[in-house]
Amino acid sequence: MIDKRFISSGFPYEALAGYSRAVVRGQEVFVSGTVGYDPAIGGLVAGAAAQAERAIDTIERALNEANGTLLDVVRVRVFIPDRADVDAICEVVRRRLGPSRAANTTICSALAVDGAKVEIEVDARVLPIQGMETR
C-alpha cells in the first residue's frame, strides 16, 4: 500500500469544497487547479499575468512541501476564460514552468472562481520523502 499525504495552501475553497491543494502519493504529486489568490488581501490579485504568477507561486510552495520543485513537473493544465489573456498567461507559464519541459494542455474555459483569469494544475514526480515509500 502507498501512503497519501495531503497539502493545504489555506485557500478558503479547499475547506469549503473538501479538497487538498496537493496530494502526495509515493513519488507522484497532484496539485489541484490553482488560481491567483493572495491570502494577504483575501482575494485574487489583479491582472491575468499577476494571477498566473501567484498561482505558480502557490503551486511551487506545495511542490516544495512535497520535496519537489517546479523542475519536477511532468504535466501542466492551464484553464483561461478569456482568449485575450492567453499570450500574457502563456508567457508566465513558459518562463516559470518551461524549464521542466512538461506535457502541457491550455484550454479556454469558464472558471468556477469569480474573477479568476487563470487556473493552473500540475502533476509532478519527486524524490520520495522519508517514511512515505511503498509498503
pLDDT tens digits for 62-84?
999 999 999 999 999 999 999 99
- Residue pLDDT, tens place only, 11-41: 888 888 889 999 999 999 999 999 999 999 9
Identify the CATH number of the domain in which residue 29 sits. 3.30.1330.40
Does residue 92 sit in helix, strand or coil? Answer: helix
| Residue 30 included in any domain | yes
CA distance 17 to 23: 15
| Residue 130 included in any domain | no
Range of the domain at 31: 4-125
| Residue 55 included in any domain | yes
Does residue 123 sit in helix, strand or coil? Answer: strand
Pair 52, 118: CB distance under 8 Å = yes
Q: What is the rounded (10 degree) CA torsion for 82, 21, 98, 106?
A: -30
Per-residue cell: 104: 502541457
| Residue 36 included in any domain | yes
- Residue pLDDT, tens place only, 70-126: 999 999 999 999 999 999 999 999 999 999 999 999 999 999 999 999 999 999 999
Phi and psi angles of residue 106, each rounded to the nearest 5 degrees, phi first: -120, 125
pLDDT of residue 9: 87
| Residue 134 included in any domain | no
134 pLDDT more than 80: no
H/E run at residue 31: strand 28-34
| Residue 131 included in any domain | no
Domain count, the chain: 1
| Residue 90 included in any domain | yes
Distances (CA, A) of 90 to 20, 23, 97: 25, 25, 10
Burial class for 19, CB neighbours closer than 10 Å (0-12, 13-18, 19+): middle
| Residue 133 included in any domain | no
DSSP 39: T
Instruction: Look up the pTM and report it.
Output: 0.90
135 pLDDT more than 50: no
